[in-house]
Structure 1
Amino acid sequence: MQEVVTISVSQRANHLTTQFFNCQEENLYKGTSEDAVDPTVFLYPSIDRVAKSASYYPRALLWDSKYGNGSLGTYQYENESEDYHFNNHELKSADNHDVVTTQKRIEPSAYQKALDGNATLPELNKDNTKYWSDYSRLIYQPYSLNYLQNWYHDTENPNLPDFKGLKTQRFSNAEQGVNEWNECQDDFNDEHLRTALERCDSLQGFNLVTDVDTAWGTFSKSLLQDLRDELPKTTIFAWGFFEPDILTKGKQSIDNKYQIKNTILSSIFSMKECDLYFPLYASPNLTNWELGGQTCGLFDTVNSVLANKDQSKRRQMAYLVDCLTDGEPKRNMVTSMVRDDDKLDYGYVSHVSPYEKRGSASSSREYHEFSFINITRGPQKDDGEKKDDNKNKKDNYRNIATTTYCPSSTIPDQFKKNLSYSVKLSSTEKNRDLYRHWSNYVSRYFRFDDEREELKDDLETLVSAYEYGWYSDDDSGDD
């Protein structure tokens, strides 16, 4: 088997991860169907040979702020649970010890109570899915759950934890993310990460899911650096959520004045260290539960290719990297991710405003497409055409068939209407606009930053990698 471990960093990322693993649980009921996936790629099977049964746990490492896990306790589903008090991840020892309560206990959601009691499940909505644990259907092992030391979850602003629960500072500064990682990296690397790796027979790679425009971005940046040092040849896909910003005609949050800086620092480093980078647009009109359900249609599609039970259709992570970079490793940020059934583009780059200084010759034409992958879910249509010429052979390489989408009942109804669809992932010249915007921003606002010159060089290199054809001289930018 070729296992894939998912590292999820932030409350928003954990909602997506929860939806994905709920779908993996749904896939278990397909059994030996030809349209099934291999559950052991993303789930760790624990075999009970006496009872002749198997339990499946997510191959996942989740990071959240304190109390961001809602009512879920770290050791809640362990056999020795009667010895502990599960107010989140705080432990209570024997009854003869005093317990200090620091925060009001978070009660389990009605969905979790029904799930644990094997009762009729209530319908999910925006109000009863505040925490990702409110609707998580699989049990996580204790090593999977990790928490920040100094930052607490705020239900009013769930994507920006506040310092010590005092609501005086937000987890928005790049330096905060680095400092927080330095405090907890040893325990994570030596115990939690190593435990996850020991449960893999033949590790294929990682999915790293995070927010990039808050301190979670630089926290993940530091985590990714340690991960790459530990496993230099392992394939890593990074998935970064972006909120609307000044480049997408959005409004920058007052709570996050460092938004663009965090985005640039986290994205550039991630592109250097990972093999493919998927920038995900986080619509402000959706809750985290809804966004997780929407984005799961993309995330599950890409990952289904890696776990197809039909070996002739299964592909490796390195195969997808080759298709999308096409021999140019610097072009590893995916420009667009479009579903054919609703024309939804999950990508952040597609929302970025066109660069205003484009030359007249280039502004009148469409963006050049360097490479693409087309992943089709469900039954394939036979067009009856022969595919023996070079062009069709190349297109065949980039057209991948995979299993029908099997959404969990926790996915919002509007995002599971169609189970057979295609997703096109492409790398286009549009990325040049984004890097030009970032380069100008660094030149103007990073004037006293130690990383300014290195960032400018990195961005100019990326601009060159995504250029195609002729550009006007006044498109060179200035300092």
Structure 2
Amino acid sequence: MHEIITLQLGQRANYLATHFWNLQESYFTYNEEEESPVDHDVHFRPGVGADGSETYTPRTVIYDLKGGFGTLRKYNALYELTEDATPGQGLWDGKEILQQQALIPQSDYQKSLDAGLPAPTLSAETVRYWSDYNRLFYHPRSIVQLNDYELNSKIMPFEDWTIGEELFNELDKEHDLLDRDVRPFAEECDQLRALQIFTGSDDAWGGFAAKYIDRIRDEYGKKSVWVWAIENGKKVDRQTQFKRDLNKARSVHAISTQASLYAPIIDPPSRIPRSIYLDPRSEWYTSALVSAAMESVSLPTRLRPYHDFEASLAGDDSIHKIFELQSTIVQDGEDAAKSPTKPSDDSDEKEPGSSPIKKDFDLDFTYDGLTCQKSHHVFNQLQVSRGVADRENESGGEDQGILRRKRHFNSEPMFQRFHTTLPFPVLDSFPQNMFPELRSKEKISILAALTVSSRTAERLKVYETLAGRVAGVDERETLVNGLGEIRETYETGWMSDSDFDDD
């Protein structure tokens, strides 16, 4: 068994992760004759409920600010504890006055799930919190509310990167967060494979995540760490955007060098194809679109049989850690193996023969709105196609290690493709009108990719310039120099030490 522990840091991370967990729950099969292609033990853990019944809950730790959990309670129907209605007052003889915050009423969707009735159609107006469309029960250990800050507070906004650093340091000093929150899940694993982290990167959660990952690396140094770094794509005033961009620069500098995968995700991307309907004001909508790409591209990590996802990410040198997330919704009648986008002069690598490398996707979650040169070099690409039949056999059954060595010898980009006939399920917790042009409203085909390219160097150069102008004197030199060192590894013509060794 190769288990994965998930950490969810903050409101936007929890919107995305809730879609992710709903999808994992949908893959369960209850017919003994039908085995799911998804290995549920990767992300779920067995346990025992309060009444002694067996439970199966996500192996995750969910952090959010005060007021961020909505209607989600720490103790749910599986772990409900009977509390003394009149607890003892101890040594206090006076009259007690209990002040309790008003409970948030359940949404109609949640009421229907609890009653076992057909769920009503959700809308941007009816989803107030990420818990409003959650379909799972979580273990009480998974729910961690941070009471030091309140969600959407105007007095103490949780926005500056350094505030997140300080909060983690304070909490870790008091509680040892890794020991309290992560270790109990890790000790249950037979063979811990990776830690997956959903986090905001352009606010205080970026600083919180950076410190957390420092501790993870100290404790679980050899384990993979996959970071889905969410950036707010909504338009704001110039000053606020400067603050967000500086926070993003700090996150890239502090986290990408520690992670095995660091995927910046603009939520929502600024360019949306006409075949997709999106309400950009609703985090439920925008995170649903992101989840279709993110969940699809990470699908090989939980498919049967075991897939060596880590080797595909490593490429030929294990140096490049910053990946671009891209996807295309395959239209009716198209083949996921073929490029579903319009051909262009620079859409594919110009190599002898037909290259499997794709550059032109309908949705680019990493570089929308950023001016990048059209012609850029791809170092590594991992593609995942799901749904329709894949008539393209790029490897011919040849060993992937041999293929990687051939590509390295021929100075070709590293490439690997995974395919599964398992389609993307459009659940009742998902916006029902997002793909209006597709005939099938319940199952869709997707081509998703993680790409390492020289575009990252351009983005890091922008961050370097910004940090040189905006960052404080105490961090400016370290930040600018650190970003510069990372940038150099994504520039075309850069050679690693292994390249010199090969020569």
Alignment TM class, shorter chain as reference: 0.7 to 0.9
Secondary structure at 2:208's aligned position in 1?
A: helix
Partner residue in 1 for 2:487: 463
1:228: Cα distance to partner?
1.3
Q: How does 1:242-391 map to 2 (within 5 A)?
A: 242-244=231-233, 250-252=235-237, 258-283=243-268, 285-309=280-304, 311=305, 314-323=306-315, 326-329=316-319, 331-339=320-328, 341=330, 343-354=361-372, 366-383=375-392, 387=396
Partner residue in 2 for 1:72: 72
- Which residue of 435, 444, 459 corresponds with 1:434? 459
Q: Which range moved further: 145-154 or 400-409?
A: 400-409
Contact 1:252–1:259, Cα closer than 8 Å, also in 2: no
Q: Distance in 2 between matches of 1:449 and 1:102?
A: 45
Secondary structure at 1:438's aligned position in 2?
A: helix
1:374: Cα distance to partner?
1.3
Contact 1:242–1:348, Cα closer than 8 Å, also in 2: no
1:341: Cα distance to partner?
2.5
Secondary structure at 2:484's aligned position in 1?
A: helix
Contact 1:278–1:347, Cα closer than 8 Å, also in 2: no
**Superimposed CA distance per residue, residues 261-308 of structure 1 (whole angstroms, 9 cap, x where no aligned partner):** 211111211101111111101128241111221111122113320111
Q: Which range moved further: 182-191 or 212-221?
A: 182-191
Partner residue in 2 for 1:111: 109
The verdict on how the C-alpha distance between 1:384 and 1:226 changes in structure 2, with shifts beyond 3 A counting, is: closer
Percent identity, aligned pairs only, is 24
Q: Distance in 2 between matches of 1:469 and 1:225?
A: 31
Q: Distance in 1 between matches of 2:458 and 2:48?
A: 52
Q: Distance in 2 between matches of 1:169 and 1:386?
A: 55
The verdict on how the C-alpha distance between 1:336 and 1:70 changes in structure 2, with shifts beyond 3 A counting, is: closer
Q: How does 1:8-23 map to 2 (within 5 A)?
A: 8-23=8-23
1:404: Cα distance to partner?
2.6
Contact 2:326–2:366, Cα closer than 8 Å, also in 1: no
Structure 1 letter corresponding to 2:466:
Y
Structure 1 letter corresponding to 2:72:
L
For structure 2, the 5+ residue unaligned runs are 90-94, 271-279, 332-360, 408-412, 436-440, 495-503
Partner residue in 2 for 1:443: 468
What is the aligned-residue RMSD (CA, Å)?
3.0
Structure 2 letter corresponding to 1:464:
E
The verdict on how the C-alpha distance between 1:422 and 1:78 changes in structure 2, with shifts beyond 3 A counting, is: closer
Q: Distance in 1 between matches of 2:79 and 2:264?
A: 40
Contact 2:267–2:290, Cα closer than 8 Å, also in 1: no
Q: Distance in 1 between matches of 2:46 and 2:362?
A: 35
Q: Which range moved further: 186-195 or 365-374?
A: 186-195
Contact 1:148–1:180, Cα closer than 8 Å, also in 2: no
The verdict on how the C-alpha distance between 1:27 and 1:260 changes in structure 2, with shifts beyond 3 A counting, is: same
Q: Distance in 2 between matches of 1:413 and 1:276?
A: 31
1:184: Cα distance to partner?
2.0
1:37: Cα distance to partner?
0.4
TM-score normalised over the length of structure 1 = 0.81
1:209: Cα distance to partner?
0.6
For structure 1, the 5+ residue unaligned runs are 85-91, 155-161, 355-362, 471-479
1:11: Cα distance to partner?
0.8
Q: Distance in 1 between matches of 2:35 and 2:433?
A: 27
**Superimposed CA distance per residue, residues 313-337 of structure 1 (whole angstroms, 9 cap, x where no aligned partner):** x3134223224xx3141x2111342
The verdict on how the C-alpha distance between 1:386 and 1:64 changes in structure 2, with shifts beyond 3 A counting, is: closer
Q: Distance in 1 between matches of 2:470 and 2:381?
A: 35
TM-score normalised over the length of structure 2 = 0.78
Structure 2 letter corresponding to 1:420:
S
Structure 2 letter corresponding to 1:181:
F
The verdict on how the C-alpha distance between 1:145 and 1:35 changes in structure 2, with shifts beyond 3 A counting, is: closer
Partner residue in 1 for 2:133: 135
**Superimposed CA distance per residue, residues 102-134 of structure 1 (whole angstroms, 9 cap, x where no aligned partner):** 532211211111211222312111122111111
The verdict on how the C-alpha distance between 1:296 and 1:224 changes in structure 2, with shifts beyond 3 A counting, is: same
Secondary structure at 2:257's aligned position in 1?
A: helix
1:255: Cα distance to partner?
6.2
Q: Distance in 1 between matches of 2:17 and 2:259?
A: 19
Secondary structure at 1:459's aligned position in 2?
A: helix
